[in-house]
Amino acid sequence: MKTSLYNNCRPAEVSGRALAFNSFSGALIEVSAEQADFLAGRHSFDPSQVQEKDENLLKDLYRNGFVVDDEVDEFALLKTRHDRAKHSRHQLDITISPTLDCNFGCFYCYQGRMKERMSQQVQDEIIDFIAQHEGLEELKLSWFGGEPLLCLDIIEAMSERIEELSKKMGFTYSAQMTTNGYDLDKERVAILRKCHVDNLQITLDGPPDLHDKRRNLVTRSNGTFWPIIEGIKLLNKAGSTVIIRSNVDKTNIDRVEELIDILADEGLHQNSFYLGQVKPYSEQVKRVSKVFLSKAEMGEHDARVQKYLARKNFKAGADVHFPEPKNTYCSANRTHAYVIDHDGETYKCWAEIGDHSLSLGQLRDLPPPELAEEKMSPCAQRWHDWSPFDEEKGCATCKMLPICMGGCAFSGMTILNNVPECIKFKFNLEETLVKKAAQLRRVPA
């Protein structure tokens, strides 16, 4: 037997104890400092020599992947897991942007504004494209913008057709939406429910004075903070899951606690809350690059905010954001995943939407699903070839690989000039493990 490649050991808050996290299996256990030292190193050992008193521990370690059989090649297994997900035709991920227009004028928005809405022809092409995927088991749909709520009629019409198709072809279908959350009332929330848009991500960038400056309406000077709060309440009442995201940089990071206080006063404890990093997605956003936070700084702030959420009794504070093994970092790394704009142009990543020079081509010109890999366009090939398993990326020897899979490929390829962007857990793993262990101790097994 041998110790796993993916053991990460850190001191526990309990004196003399340590926490061991296996990033391949996602398991977390508490062990002695001496056992942690052993697990953290690369050792082969004979299990028959283990003392009787340690036999049960060995069984637990084996069951949870902290020790593995000598012949197991964990790196190869991880790559197989990754490749299977990357090439799978059973799952189709589609992000649809029915318009690139938006009623907000956020300073960090990377998208060029276009007034057009998705035509009937492009809508028909999307339905035909989905129908080409014989044997499809799961469709994951995301509505994106611009601001998708400006085209709720299109979303309603397309959702009906997709639902019909899912019944006919027998695939499951789920939908989510990234929206500014401004234009919501009871009726519109009911339409979203009918369209199975049960999962929404809405952004609040600070307390009202700050949020309203950063996320202002284009045409009017009215604040957007309070209408958004009312929208979130309506969605909560209707049973939707709303994730509140706060896009942070050096100019608003110190006021996140004030925002959380207001959310608590408004009774929004059930909503998940997380920090989004403002990044140089485009030349326009690069102009404000002095205010960006680094990934390491984000890791520190994230830990601080998590603590505050817990203190304020938020569900998001009690459920520690804990790393989980993943097959790919995001859908952009998968072959059968597309972002489609109002015009029918297709992309791999929402950060490239609207930039035709990065398009994979028109949806109607894409190769059929069975030839998607053989007949890839150069733009698709660039995404396909980005792999955390390449020697030169440095991910191959990283213990975070199973929970990171090379990070956001857009950041790696475009912002960091072909250097992978490490996940925040690389910078705050110790704090995360300690908090998770404390949470688990509170909840009897």
Q: Which stretch binds ligand SF4 (CB under 6 A): 44-52, 62-70, 83-91, 345-353?
A: 345-353
Q: Which stretch binds ligand SF4 (CB under 6 A): 48-56, 116-124, 174-182, 387-395?
A: 387-395
**Alpha carbon separation from 392 to 296, 387, 418, 419 (Å, rounded):** 22, 10, 10, 9
Nearer to ligand SF4, 299 or 317 (CB): 299
Q: Which stretch binds ligand SF4 (CB under 6 A): 8-16, 27-35, 202-210, 402-410?
A: 402-410
278 contributes a contact to ligand SF4 by CB under 6 A: no
Q: C-alpha angle with apex 281: 280 to 284, nearest 5 degrees?
A: 75
Closest alpha carbon to 312 in 256, 359, 361: 256
Segment (H or E) for 141 = strand 138-143
398 contributes a contact to ligand SF4 by CB under 6 A: yes
195 contributes a contact to ligand SF4 by CB under 6 A: no
Among 85, 197, 293, 349, binds ligand SF4 (CB under 6 A): 349
Among 197, 305, 395, 437, binds ligand SF4 (CB under 6 A): 395
Range list of β-strands (E), 359-437: 361-362
Nearer to ligand SF4, 105 or 394 (CB): 394
Neighbours of 2 (CB within 10 A): 15
CA 361 to chain centre: 25
Closest alpha carbon to 145 in 103, 85, 107: 103
Closest alpha carbon to 178 in 95, 257, 115, 256: 95
Nearer to ligand SF4, 165 or 349 (CB): 349
Token digits for 118? 């998705």
369 contributes a contact to ligand SF4 by CB under 6 A: no
204 contributes a contact to ligand SF4 by CB under 6 A: no
Shortest Cβ 68–ligand SF4 spacing (Å):
20
Distance CA 8, CA 22 (A): 6
Nearer to ligand SF4, 174 or 222 (CB): 174
350 contributes a contact to ligand SF4 by CB under 6 A: yes
Q: Which stretch binds ligand SF4 (CB under 6 A): 62-70, 266-274, 358-366, 388-396?
A: 388-396
Distance CA 171, CA 169 (A): 6
Question: Footprint of ligand SF4 on this chain (CB under 6 A)?
Answer: 330, 332, 349-351, 388, 394-395, 398, 400-401, 404, 406-411, 420, 422-423, 426
